[in-house]
Structure 1
Amino acid sequence: MEYLVLITSSLFFLILVQYLFGLYARAKLPPGPIGLPFFGNLLQIGPKPHRSLAKLAEQYGPLITLQLGSVTNVVVSSSEVAREIFQKHDADFSGRSVPDAVAGGLQNHDVATPWISAGDQWRTLRKALSIYLTNPKKIDKLQELRLKVVSKMVEHVKEISKRGQDVDIGKLAFTTALNQMSNTCFSVDVADFSSNQDVNGFHHAVNTIMEVDGKMNFADYFPWVKKFDPQGIRKDAKAAYGWLDQLCEKFIVQRLRHREDNLPPHGDLLDSFLDFRQENPVDFDVKQIKVLLMDLFIAGTDTNSSTIEWAMTELMIHSDIMQKLRKEINERINVKAPLVEADILELPYLQSVLKETMRLHLVVPLLLPHKTETNVKLNGYTIPKDTRVIFNVWAIARDSDSWESPEKFAPERFLSSEIDYRGRYFSFLPFGSGRRMCPGIRLAERVMSLMLVSLVAHFDWKLPNNMLPEELDLDDTFGVTSQKAIPLVLEPAIIDY
């Protein structure tokens, strides 16, 4: 009995010391709510952290400190602080805090590109990506493949319309984005619009990864429980990453045989990576190619399809905006002729609708967490090395100091504005900013623009079961990406020109 009392007292003393030491360590950090011993502020973060953190920022300011378990976090919730960091301290904040789900899911690989620190390996991988993803000429080379995918989508919806059936917009957009990405990477479709088998496999794998990578995992806040995987997150991540690993492995093996037989090149992203490998045999190998391909499938399917689902939701609510968009398309694009990506990118109202959708419904509401590489002085505070830094870009995009009527869906706000999403305007950072900004912006804007133009130009959409637009649910879910909680289902009617 005395032994048990001694252990309990010692444990309580250690927790108390840790708690008091934490209070002392926070003296030079930004303000924030005082948390509980051991748990810190974990219980103040609900199932939708972007919203919980926004409310805390209203109380404590745009730069706050949260203690989540044993991990110190600094949260940025204003464009002014984001500007200060990305313009003056970008290198100091360029590290990554890697979730246990990612480390466990990719345990047989180097950590994925978005998660590794900005060192030599990261620069090599970014260089490999930049050869294709940031080069408009290279992207344009494969536009015919992407246009073919969108044409198949349109024909599929026409068949559904003739049968008098409904369309799940999210699933349709996911299949389209998936085939857009597979054609960019491998020059082939990996999913059939009329069959859900492959799509479900991809959808399950990508959704699982997005969910577990963004889920509140005790292993991330209490490192000593990692080996126990108490929530089963590492197990789920390993299965999902493994599924994508096998798929990419299959395509790489096929392409290597294709090249060994001296057959004509495809000119797609996989060919670009393999060419880069020949030029950089020491720094870039097949394993890294596989990880890059997995990154692209994860980042380029779920995010693009979710944005399209949100855009169509807002257009159904605002029929005047739908009609204005359709008018612009009809006046400036020959919808009977094959589409041209360059023409679509020059449609100002279309681009404004997409920007406003990304502002109001940020698919990645919290940028992937940064980590300080050194001690940094910021706004009079000292942020210690290895501090986890969270950018709440969802809160920044709804800040009334930067946006008039921020809760209103108003594409017109972008028509007379130079604001874009390339990381230069810190009130609008859907792709991040600085050296850790997403490299796939050019491809993403093409994929999303093609899909939205095709859906709006070729079909008149109605809500099923006499549902009213104001009855549409706008609730979201949280993971690495924020998705529509209740899928958008619509009835298509073919528009004859």
Structure 2
Amino acid sequence: MEVLSWGICLCVILVGVLLRAVVGRLRKLNLPPGPRPWPIIGNLNLIGSLPHRSLHALSQKYGPLMYLRFGSFPVVVGSSVEAARFFLKTHDICFVSRPKTAAGKYTTYNYSDITWSPYGAYWRQARRMCLLELFSAKRLESYEYIRVAEVRALLRGLFESAGTPVLLKDHLSTVSLNVICRMVLGKKYVDRSEAAAIVSPEEFKQMLDELFLLNGVMNIGDSIPWLDFLDLHGYIRRMKKLSKRFDRFLEHVLDEHNQRRRREGDEFVARDMVDVLLQLADDPDLDVKLERHGVKAFTQDLIAGGTESSAVTVEWAISELLKHPEVLEKATEELDRVVGRERWVEEKEVHRLPYVESIVKETMRMHPVAPMLVPRLSREHTTFDGYDIPAGTRVLVNVWTIGRDPSIWDAPEEFRPERFLGSPIDVKGHDFQLLPFGAGRRMCPGYSLGLKVIQLSLANLLHGFKWRLPPGKKAEDLSMEEIFGLSTPRKVPLQAVAEPKLPAHLYTA
């Protein structure tokens, strides 16, 4: 009995020493500055309905590298070019994983997509598939005819509505959705003209809006896990409902594609990205087997990512131009000079329109689709600028704040496309002053497609129409408020009037 008592005492002493060592290490950590957290909720009380703006305000007080606690989890927020470069390039491999969230679990087939899947063999394989198969330059070039046809359909639809106010986002979402559906799915499954349409265009757009909203909300269970079962905001219930709606659609798509594969047998040739994914799923040499739910998760990712970014960016661009008619006039002058008034703008000549390209960049600076990049997760302990960033820390990069940094941008709150004329700054992930698509290994794999659709759509909208606000509305009255999600669209959809200015036969051809 005496030996047992001594053993227990020795264990207690050892545990005490270990605890003191752990506490001592924690005390020695030089964490970045930040507000003092509250018990249980941490700093969640400081985050409003527009988290990127809340974090921007905090960064003005605590600096470009902040340490916060969201409930039970440590969070570091980078709001400078140097911090972005550290997280997305210098130590990209340390921050390449993703935190576990309800959105990843319930809306992406348990983290089976490209966006939310954690770092590992599955994600590395997914990235290779995107770069080498789905978004290769050759494949995107082969789909140019689709982008041209759908942009022409957009112009034709606006011509038919000439002189009357239209909700521009509806038209832009339609062209983006049709482009991506034809490229990814092989046809416009949500078009009313398709006999096999399983959802209406309106329903599908609503599903996409809900997907982006729910992937960007601050679900309380993601920060305080023991409250997750309560679903206090009802987000998980909505995620599960949305997942069922998408799954019904995606099952239909995969069934149709597999039927054609069986029907054509050895003569089968892949026509779209779903065909490519299904072929890859059959490849016995894949490092990780691509299951059916993985194909559905990838397909959903491709559709959502390709639709939202283009429509949101072009709507913000037209909004800014309506508030700045002098910029609109300069763009019109460039288009008339370079393209003339007898034809439409072609993809291959966008590079000859530096002012239009500058409008796109300036729009992305002021209104990035994702003002905070999708959260990353620190895989190991690192230090930046003398501060410790422990393993397991969630990392946010606030590109909205970087886009408004007065040390980088002259008059950052003003819409000035001229700042990009002659500037080497681009949006391809190499210049950390402008990161609309992110950077590093987790950069949006379809950014080149999104950029093509944005530039082609905007150039032709400006070339083909005179734009004005509805009667009785003044430019200074145009609201520029936003709503937050995984993307950040206008709070009030833009209503505008488009007046055709080119020969009528161009719109109807």
Q: TM-score, normalised by structure 2?
A: 0.88
1:28 partnered with 2:30: yes
Per the alignment, residue 159 of structure 2 pairs with: 158
Give the equivalent residue in structure 2 for 1:148.
Answer: 149
In the TM superposition, 1:3-82 aligns within 5 A as 27-82=29-84
| 1:475 matched residue in structure 2 | 481
Match of 2:9 in 1: none
CA shift at 1:347, angstroms? 2.2
The question of whether the paired residues in 1 share the 8 Å contact of 2:345 and 2:459 is answered with no
Match of residue 116 from structure 1:
117
Kept after mapping to 2: 8 A contact 1:142/1:268? no
How far apart, in 2, do the equivalents of 1:302 and 1:387 lie? Answer: 29
Give the distance between the partners of 1:246 and 1:115, measured in 2 at CA.
21
Alignment of 1:393-412 (within 5 A): 393-412=399-418
In the alignment, what sits opposite 1:128?
Answer: 129
2-side partners of 1:243 and 1:371: how far apart? 30
Distance 1:383 1:112, change over 3 A: same
Displacement after TM superposition at 1:84 (Å): 2.5
Q: How does 1:453-492 map to 2 (within 5 A)?
A: 453-492=459-498
Distance 2:247 2:335 in 1: 40
Deviations 1:157-192 (A, max 9, x none): 11111xx43210111111111111101112322445
User: Residue 254 of structure 1 aligns to which amino acid in structure 2?
Assistant: E
Q: CA deviation at 1:109?
A: 4.5
Could you report, residue by residue, the CA deviation over 1:305-342 in whole angstroms, capped at 9, with x for unpaired residues? 11111000011111121122122223223664465322
Amino acid at match of 1:410: R
2:378 and 2:394 in contact (8 A); partners too: yes
Change (3 A) 1:206 1:93: same
Unaligned 5+ residue runs, structure 2? 1-22, 504-509
Inter-partner Cα distance in structure 2 for 1:174 and 1:443 = 15
1:345: Cα distance to partner?
4.3
Residue 184, structure 1, aligned to residue 183, structure 2: yes
The match for 2:167 is 168
The 1:188/1:327 distance shift into structure 2, 3 A limit, reads farther
State yes or no: 1:276 paired with 2:275. no
Q: CA RMSD in A?
A: 2.3
Q: Partners in 2 of 1:244 and 1:345 — Cα distance?
A: 37
- Give the C-alpha shift of residue 199 in structure 1: 2.4
What's the secondary structure of 1:453's corresponding residue?
A: helix
Contact map agreement 1:57 1:77 (CA 8 A) in 2: yes
CA separation of 1:23 and 1:165: change in aligned 2, threshold 3 A: farther
TM-score (norm 1): 0.90
Secondary structure, aligned partner of 2:94: coil
Q: Is the 8 A contact 1:211 1:480 kept in 2?
A: yes
Query: Conserved in 2, the CA contact under 8 Å of 1:178 and 1:190?
Result: no
**Structure 1 residue 86, shift from structure 2 partner:** 2.7
Following TM superposition, by how much is the alpha carbon of 1:98 offset from its aligned partner in structure 2, in angstroms? 2.8
Per the alignment, residue 395 of structure 2 pairs with: 389
Indicate how the Cα distance of structure 1 residues 319 and 366 shifts in structure 2: closer, same or farther if over 3 A, else same: same
Residues in 2 aligned to 1:133 and 1:351: alpha-carbon distance in whole angstroms: 25
Is 1:432–2:438 an aligned residue pair? Answer: yes
- Which stretch of the first structure deviates more once superposed, 429-438 or 259-268? 259-268
- 8 Å contact from structure 2 (residues 341, 502) kept in 1: no
Structure 1: 5+ residue runs without aligned partners? 1-20
> Match of 1:464, SS?
coil
Distance 1:110 1:401 in 2: 38
Q: Please name the residue that 2:17 is paired with.
A: none
- Contact 1:95 1:371 (8 Å CA) reproduced: yes
Q: Find the counterpart in structure 1 of residue 319 from structure 2.
A: 313
- The structure 2 residue matched to 1:265, chosen from 247, 258, 269, is 269
Matching residue of 2:227: 225
Q: Deviations over 1:252-298 (max 9, x none)?
A: 21111112221663532222223333334652233222111101112
Q: Distance in 1 between matches of 2:24 and 2:452?
A: 48
* Equivalent residue, structure 2, for 1:414: 420
User: What is the CA–CA distance in structure 1 between the aligned matches of 2:206 and 2:324, rounded to whole Å?
Assistant: 32
Residue of structure 2 in register with 1:380 after alignment: 386
User: Could you say which residue in structure 2 is the equivalent of 1:3?
Assistant: none
Say whether the 8 Å CA contact 2:184–2:274 is kept in structure 1: yes
1:241 maps to 243
2:453 equivalent in structure 1: 447
Post-superposition shift, 1:374?
0.8
Whether the 8 Å CA contact 2:40–2:224 is kept in 1: the answer is no
Would the alpha carbon gap of residues 353 and 190 (structure 1) be closer, same or farther in structure 2, given more than 3 Å must change?
farther
1:397-442 deviation per Cα after TM superposition (whole angstroms, max 9, x unaligned): 1101111111111111111111111111111111111111111111
Identity of matched residues, %: 32
What residue is the counterpart of 1:325 in the other structure? 331
- 2-side partners of 1:477 and 1:334: how far apart? 38
AA aligned to 1:495 is K
Q: Structure 1 residues 203 and 395 mapped into 2: Cα distance closer, same or farther (>3 Å)?
A: same
Query: For residues 273 and 340 of structure 2, what CA distance do their matches in structure 1 show?
Result: 30
What secondary structure sits across from 2:413 in the alignment? coil
Count of residue correspondences? 474
CA contact (8 A) 2:99 2:377 kept: yes
In 1, are the aligned partners of 2:345 and 2:460 still within 8 Å (CA)?
no
Distance of aligned partners of 1:417 and 1:339 in 2 relative to their CA distance in 1, 3 Å threshold: closer
Match of residue 287 from structure 1: 293
Tell me, in whole angstroms, the C-alpha distance in 2 between the residues paired with 1:104 and 1:291: 11
Q: Answer whether contact 1:420 1:428 (CA < 8 A) is retained.
A: yes
Secondary structure of the corresponding residue to residue 282 of structure 2? helix
Counterparts of 1:328 and 1:304, CA distance in 2: 22
Indicate how the Cα distance of structure 1 residues 465 and 248 shifts in structure 2: closer, same or farther if over 3 A, else same.
Answer: same
Letter in 1 for 2:126: L
Distance, in Å, in 2 between the alignment partners of 1:22 and 1:421 is 44
Return the alpha-carbon distance in structure 2 between the equivalents of residues 172 and 314 of structure 1.
18
Are the equivalent residues in 2 in contact too, given 1:132–1:139 (CA < 8 A)?
no
1:83–1:486: structure 2 CA closer, same or farther, 3 Å change rule? same
CA distance in 1, matches of 2:342, 2:193: 24
Structure 1 residues 244 and 26, CA gap change in structure 2 (3 angstroms) = farther
Q: For 1:363, what is the secondary structure of its paired residue?
A: coil
Going from structure 1 to structure 2, the CA distance change for 1:192 and 1:324 (only over 3 Å counts) comes to farther
* 1:380-399 alpha-carbon deviations (Å, 9 max, x no partner): 12211111111111001110
Structure 2 contact 112–298 (Cα < 8 Å) conserved: no
Tell me which of 353, 358, 375 is aligned to 1:352.
358
Cα distance, 1:131 vs structure 2: 2.5
CA distance in 1: counterparts of 2:248 and 2:341, whole angstroms: 39
- Assess if the C-alpha contact under 8 Å between 1:461 and 1:490 holds in 2: yes
Contact 1:40 1:67 survives alignment (8 Å): yes
CA distance in 2, matches of 1:285, 1:354: 38
SS at match of 2:311: helix
How many angstroms apart in 2 are the aligned matches of 1:216 and 1:155? 40
